[in-house]
Structure formats: C-alpha cells, structure tokens
C-alpha cells in the first residue's frame, strides 16, 4: 500500500528541473510498475513513466537555424518559442544503468515493440506483459523512450492513445497546398489527406478557387475537373481529415489532386528539435532515481527512419551545446530517405512517394549517400551527413537496412550509388548498410491475395533486426565492430536495371515482373525551397529522374546479394520485393506500396512437370522433412556466425520455417488462397 501511495503522489506532481538544452521542465503524469509481477532477466522488473516535456527554443540560436519558420512562431517575453510533447519511458525499476533507445513513433504509434519484441502494445499504451511481446528489449536491459513529434495523425479509435504533437504555428503565413489521392473502388466521397493522416485544410472554407485535377500516371498532364462538379464535405468525425464529393464519383485508375491556399503552417521541424532536446536532457540528467544512460540510441522504422535521416541532414542530431544527442541510430526500411519532407513550410510528414503515389511531394532529393557523391545533373558534391558532426567533428554510428521492396518502391539503391545509377558509393566509415533480400517492408501476414495479384512474402527479417540492435549498442558503447555491410552492388553484379531483371526473372511462375520501379524526378519548388524550405511552385516543376536499380534475381527468382535471409538460403519458394496491384483496384501496372510476393515450389517433380514450373521441386531439393530442417539449421548457423542472427532465435527460425514447409506440403496447389501460409492465429 505504501508503494502504491508513493507512486500515486509522484503521478500528481510536476517536477521542475534545471534547464538543459531546451527542456525547461518535466511534468510526470503517471508512474506505475510495468507488467506487474514480471521480471526480465538481469534487468529485473520494469516501470512506466508517462509525462510531458516542456521546451523553449531560441530562434536566434545557431543550432535552431535549420528549423523552417521557427522565427515566425509566437514567442514569450524572453523571445523563445514554447511547446510541449508527451512522452513514455519504460525502464528497469531498480535504477540500474542502461542503454536508452528512443523509438521514433510512426504516425503516433509505438513501432519498435511490434517488430523487435513481436507485439505492438494495445491502444499504444504499454502496460502489461502481453504488451512486451517476448520481452526482448527488456531482457537485454534497454530503457525505451517514446514521444510525440508529428501533428498529422488522424483521430484514433476509441481508447487508443497515440503520441500526437501540437507544434507552434507560423501565424499569418499563407501558401498553396497539394493533396494527391486515389481510390481502390468507385466512391462518391473521398478523403484527400495522406495515409491515416491529416492535411492542411483550405484557408477559405469551401474555397471557390480550389482546383481538382485528374491524370492516369504521375508524369501525365493534369486535367482540370470543373469546380461546379465537385464539393467539399465535412470530415467524417470531428478533427478528422477533410473530404470531397465528385458528382460522377471517384474511380480507380485515376490520380486525383486537390490544391488550394492554406494558412498558419505548423513549424513541423520543432518536432525534430523536440526529439533532439529530449534526448539531450535524458543523456545528461539523472531522472527520478536512475542514473544517466550508459548509451543513447535512436531507432526508426519507415517514415520514422526517414525522420532520423532528416535530423542528420539538418544537423538536428547536435544539441545547442554542440554535442551529439545520440551515439548511434538504426534506420530501418527508409528507402532513399535521408532528406524526407519533415522540415519545410506546409510539410505533411505522412506523405511519401512510391511507384504510384505522391511523386511531387518533397520527400527524396540529393544527397542520398553517407559518403560524398556527385550529382552529374546539378554538379553538386555532397553527403547527407555534411551537417551532422558535433563541435568535435564526431558523427554518430548508423545502421541502415532496407528490404527488397524498398529497391522497387522507395529508391533504396540511391543510398549506395551515384544519382545516375552508374557507380557504387561505399558508405562512410561510421555507417553499415544492409539489404534483407527476399523480404518486404514489414513481415507479411495477409491471408488473401486482394488487393494484389500474388500472396505476400513470408520471410521474417525481424530476426536479423534484433541482432543488429544489439550490434549497434555494442558498436557505440564498446567499440565492437558490427557485421560488415551487405547490400546489392553494381560491382559484384547483384544490382541491375528493371529491364535486365525482367529478362533474367524465370518464366512460368505465374508472376510477371513490374514494368518499372520508383524513379523519382528532381523537383523544382522554386528558388527559396533548398535553403529556406518554402515552396513557391505547387505543384513543383519536374526534371530528370534519379536512376534507381533493383537486385538481380537468381534462377529461382530470389534476389542475390545483400543479407541472404534463411528463407532464401534454404528456400521453400520465390520471394520477391514486388507485388502487382489487382486490376480491379486500378493501376495494374504499379506495385503494392509495401508488399512483396511469394510463390512456393511445386511439392513433387510430377507436380512441377504438370504446371511447367522451371524451378526444382521441394522433393528434389529436400528428399525428406529432416533434410529441409537440416538446411534451415545450417543457414541459421551461418547467419549466427555472421552476426545477423542471435543464438536465442535459432528455435524460432527452425519452428517457423518447418511449420511453413508442413503447410505447403499439405496444401492443394489448386487452391489459390493464401491462408495456408500462416499458422492458425
């Protein structure tokens, strides 16, 4: 009872602190045991602290010069821009020194626990043992920090608690905003915000000068839809994204774009500065009975990985005192994203380009590489770490990992080639790059083909992720070298053009490779955009495309080079990084944004002969189940030796692959469903 009373009292107090960097004070809103009664190895029991950090930024400080529109935000009597951010801290309850890892949330949601621990916390509010998944990060003694950094998060489901940022406003500023959207089925009313997001709404309600256009492909000329034939519609729920109604209805196979004048843009870059300063605070300040961390790391998945890239690009990984705020970072599936659109006027962080969508959004631009490279079009030579050094000249250590899907849909080859795709560019000494071959953006679990043409990829790249998280901690805290970079390259002929891929890819699998991968254009938003983040041309002018490459397939259609996952070393079928859209959803020429494909091998040579499959059957590869399990074990042991799989994950590897083998052997190939690929929930 006494402990509970103390925790309740702590949850009610506001803790004032000496200002370090830009954190003025921390207010604790909740402090409670995490997963009561559960201990995690040597780390013991965990606790959760939920609070609010209050920030004050000096717009005149050199460290804040890169934050677009900060000088236009309201200031207090001391000339500072004020804002706050909710945060959650999970840490060992015993006050032991630990490595702190900051997870950049994805659209308000905690991401790291889902992919590393295997379970996303219910309602985005970690509290129970179930929310910890298998407890991996806890068992290895990490403290985990999460905070709000972005505003464009759609209203959540009842009970959910996303981390949503309320940035300062650049009051009185107006500008044009573009909103590109598509539909998968005919509808009369459509939302025009980005994926699960919000957008800037018109400065004038029902703006009579707003424009709606349509086109078939990103590079096509826009066709204006008469203003009299469409109308703004109220959001489906309060605070939700705006909607629009078209008299004849919206149809698949068409890219729609709505543009209008908006006002009072958010100072979105303040969210990145908030991450910076929160990390600087926890780096230096013993907090509520625990010492300062022995190491500070960052972790980001997809959009969140690109946030880290943008912080590095803008030097927002260095605090106001000139020190690095994290010693290392893991950017997972960021594609080419080192310059994503998180720090510009009227930025919409939710939006990002793939083969079909949003090529005109300011998401990816030169420089892409961590070592200097030259853009033959502009003549510039640069790297995206040019502003990331601290006052002593140090850089954080980085792990950047993409899957096969990012080579098709997110320009991943650009992080290690020149912009013309003609030469390799080795990563900087402080960087390791990995390509998880045969994997898709996230581990697939879809039990249907729709809305695609093939079943999604079944490979599990979350296991090497776990090994790399520990490797990053050891690299930054102990100087232990991580696994060598492993990614497709031009020099070893594991990276090629789409035309070459299509010529090599085996026929007879029921899969037709895409016509193209994502090739984003160089965008011209006007003279102020590069240095001030202000777009004068909306939509922008488009120049030459960046040349992107894809991995070379082997005789089975599995990608060469990079990290050959266990599922590719001991394959049960073909795993690709692409999956074509089903024709009924429109854009049949384009690929899924995030998904790959999987086609199992024929079970027997007789079945293979009947179907015309050019690939040897399972029977030919693995005469018995034991032979297959032995092949998986050998592949897993090679991965362990390479530092890309942990011994503790051997059993999960064997069980998962053997289970899929059993389900394939029991499945009637005449059944085109995908549910058999996954164990019963």
* SS3 assignment for 447-503: CCCCCECCCCCCCCCHHHHHHHHHHHHHHHHHCCCCCCCECCCCCCCCEECHHHHHH
pLDDT of residue 612: 95
Does residue 285 have a cis bond before it (omega within 30 degrees)?
Answer: no
How sure is the predictor about 21, in pLDDT bands with cuts at 50, 70 and 90? low
Q: What is the pLDDT of residue 384?
A: 93
Is residue 210 assigned to a domain? Answer: yes
Q: Quick count: other Cβ atoms within 10 Å of Cβ 37?
A: 7
Q: Classify the phi-psi angles of 587: left when phi > 0, otherwise alpha if psi is within -120 to 50, otherwise beta.
A: left
d(CA 45, CA 32): 11
Contact 102, 279 (CB under 8 A): yes
At 10, list the tokens. 């702590």
557, 511 contact by CB (below 8 A) = yes
Q: Return the ∠ at Cα 461 (arms to 371 and 131), rounded to 5°.
A: 110
Count H helices and E strands in the chain, helices first: 14, 26
Distance separating alpha carbons of residues 334 and 410, to the nearest angstrom: 8
User: Per the structure, how many domains does the chain have?
Assistant: 1
DSSP string, 512-552: ---S----PEEEE--TTHHHH---SSSSPEEEEEPP--EEP
**Rounded Cα–Cα distance for residues 169 and 172 (Å):** 9
Domain assignment present for 226: yes
User: What are 601-628's pLDDT values in tens digits?
Assistant: 999 999 999 999 999 999 999 999 999 9
**Mean pLDDT score, 596-600:** 98
Q: DSSP alpha helices (H): ranges in 80-193?
A: 112, 136-139
Q: Judge whether residue 13 has pLDDT over 60.
A: no
Look at the chain and count its residues: 681
Nearest to 460 by CA among 307, 630, 654: 654
Average pLDDT of span 581-600:
96
Q: Residue 320 and residue 80: Cα distance in Å, rounded?
A: 14
Do 296 and 279 meet the contact criterion of CB atoms below 8 Å apart? yes
Residue 155: how many other CB atoms lie within 10 Å: 16
Q: Residue 605 domain-assigned?
A: no
Do the strands 295-301 and 328-332 form a parallel or antiparallel pair, or are they unpaired? parallel
| pLDDT for residue 595 is more than 90 | yes
Calpha distance 411→550 (Å, rounded): 9
How far apart CA 118 and CA 452 sit, in angstroms, is 25
Mean pLDDT of 425-443: 98
Contact status, residue 639 vs residue 568, Cβ threshold 8 Å: no
CB of 440 closer than 8 Å to CB of 577: yes
Q: Is the pLDDT of residue 587 over 60?
A: yes
d(CA 425, CA 485): 12
The reply to whether 279 falls in a domain is: no
Q: Mean pLDDT, to the nearest integer, of 442-462? A: 95
Structure tokens at 211: 């424009």
- Residue 202, domain member (yes or no): yes
**What are the angstrom distances between the C-alpha of 678 and each of 327, 451, 580, 582, 599?**
39, 18, 21, 22, 14
Q: What is the mean pLDDT of the chain?
A: 95
What domain range is 249 assigned to?
A: 174-263
CA distance 337 to 358: 14
Give me 507's structure tokens: 């026929």
Q: What is the mean pLDDT of residues 443-448?
A: 93
- pTM comes to 0.95
Structure confidence at residue 655 as a pLDDT band (50, 70, 90): very high
Output DSSP code: residue 88.
E
Which are the contacts of 307, defined by CB distance < 8 A and separation ≥ 6? 104, 149, 272, 275, 300, 340, 342, 349
Interval 510-558: pLDDT, tens: 999 999 999 989 999 999 999 999 999 999 999 999 999 999 999 999 9
Q: Is the pLDDT of residue 212 over 70?
A: yes
Predicted confidence (pLDDT) per residue in 45-97, tens digit: 999 999 999 999 999 999 999 999 999 999 999 999 999 999 999 999 998 89
The verdict on whether omega for the bond into residue 451 sits within 30 degrees of 0, i.e. cis, is yes
Q: Are 508 and 148 in contact (CB under 8 A)?
A: no
Confidence of residue 676 (pLDDT cuts 50, 70, 90): very high
Residue 627 lies in a domain: no
Contact 57, 70 (CB under 8 A): yes
Structural domain includes residue 219 = yes
Whether the per-residue pLDDT at 16 is higher than 60: the answer is: no
Q: How confident is the model at residue 341 (pLDDT cuts 50, 70, 90)?
A: confident
| Residue 152, in any domain of the structure | no
Q: Say how many C-beta atoms besides its own lie within 10 A of residue 421's C-beta.
A: 17
């Amino acid at each position: 009872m006494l402990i509970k009373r103390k925790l309740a009292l702590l949850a009610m107090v506001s803790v004032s602190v000496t200002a370090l960097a830009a954190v003025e004070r921390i207010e604790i809103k909740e402090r409670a045991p995490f997963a009561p009664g559960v201990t995690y190895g040597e780390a013991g029991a965990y606790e959760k602290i939920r609070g609010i950090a209050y920030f004050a930024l000096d717009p005149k400080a050199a460290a804040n010069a890169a934050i677009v529109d900060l000088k236009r935000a309201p200031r207090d009597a001391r000339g500072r821009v004020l804002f706050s951010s909710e945060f959650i801290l999970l840490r060992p309850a015993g006050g032991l020194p630990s490595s702190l890892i900051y997870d950049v949330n994805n659209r308000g949601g905690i991401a790291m626990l889902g992919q590393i621990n295997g379970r996303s916390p219910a309602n985005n509010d970690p509290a129970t043992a179930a929310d910890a998944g298998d407890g991996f990060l806890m068992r290895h003694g990490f403290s985990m920090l999460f905070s709000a950094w972005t505003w464009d998060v759609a209203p959540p489901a009842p009970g959910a608690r996303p981390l949503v940022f309320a940035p300062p406003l650049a009051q009185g500023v107006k500008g044009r905003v573009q909103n590109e959207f598509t539909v998968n089925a005919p509808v009369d009313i459509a939302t025009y915000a980005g994926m699960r997001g919000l957008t800037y709404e018109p400065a004038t309600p029902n703006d009579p000068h707003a424009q709606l256009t349509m086109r078939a492909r990103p590079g096509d000329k826009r066709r204006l839809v008469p203003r009299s034939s469409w109308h703004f519609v109220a959001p489906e729920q309060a605070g939700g994204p705006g909607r629009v109604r078209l008299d004849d209805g919206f149809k698949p196979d068409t890219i729609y774009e709505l543009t209008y004048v908006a006002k009072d843009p958010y100072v979105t870059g303040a969210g990145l500065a908030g991450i910076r300063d929160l990390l600087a605070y926890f780096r230096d300040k013993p907090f509520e009975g625990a010492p300062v961390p022995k190491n500070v790391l960052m972790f980001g998945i997809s959009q969140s990985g690109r946030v880290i890239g943008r912080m590095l690009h803008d030097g927002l990984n260095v605090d106001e005192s000139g020190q690095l705020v994290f010693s290392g970072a893991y950017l997972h599936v960021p594609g080419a994203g080192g310059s994503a659109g998180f720090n510009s006027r009227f930025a919409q962080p939710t939006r990002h380009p793939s083969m079909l969508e949003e090529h005109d959004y300011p998401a990816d631009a030169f420089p892409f590489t961590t070592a200097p490279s030259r853009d033959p079009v502009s003549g510039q030579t640069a790297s995206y770490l040019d502003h990331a050094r601290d006052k002593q000249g140090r850089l954080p250590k980085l792990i950047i990992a993409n899957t096969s899907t990012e080579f098709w849909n997110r320009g991943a080859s650009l992080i290690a080639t020149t912009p013309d795709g003609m030469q390799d560019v080795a990563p900087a000494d402080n960087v390791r790059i990995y390509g998880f071959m045969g994997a898709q953006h996230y581990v697939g679990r879809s039990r249907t083909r729709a809305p695609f043409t093939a079943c999604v990829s079944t490979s599990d790249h979350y296991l090497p992720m776990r090994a790399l998280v520990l490797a990053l901690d050891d690299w930054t805290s102990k100087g232990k070298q991580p696994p060598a970079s492993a990614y497709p390259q031009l020099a070893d002929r594991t990276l090629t053009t789409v035309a070459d891929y299509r010529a090599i890819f085996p026929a007879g699998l029921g899969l037709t490779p895409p016509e193209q991968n994502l090739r984003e254009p160089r965008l011209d938003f006007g003279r102020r955009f590069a240095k001030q983040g202000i777009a004068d041309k909306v939509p922008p002018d488009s120049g030459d495309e960046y040349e992107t490459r894809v991995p070379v397939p082997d005789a089975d259609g599995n990608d060469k080079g990079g990290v050959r996952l266990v599922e590719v070393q001991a394959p049960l079928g073909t795993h690709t990084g692409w999956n074509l859209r089903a024709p009924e959803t429109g854009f049949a020429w384009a690929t899924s944004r995030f998904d790959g494909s999987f086609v199992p091998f024929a079970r027997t040579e007789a079945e293979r002969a009947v179907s015309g499959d050019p690939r040897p059957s399972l029977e030919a590869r693995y005469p018995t189940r034991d032979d297959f399990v032995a092949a998986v074990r050998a592949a897993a042991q090679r991965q362990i030796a390479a530092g890309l799989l942990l011994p503790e994950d051997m059993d999960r590897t064997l069980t998962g692959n053997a289970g899929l083998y059993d389900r394939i052997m029991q499945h009637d190939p005449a059944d085109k469903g995908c549910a058999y690929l996954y164990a019963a929930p």
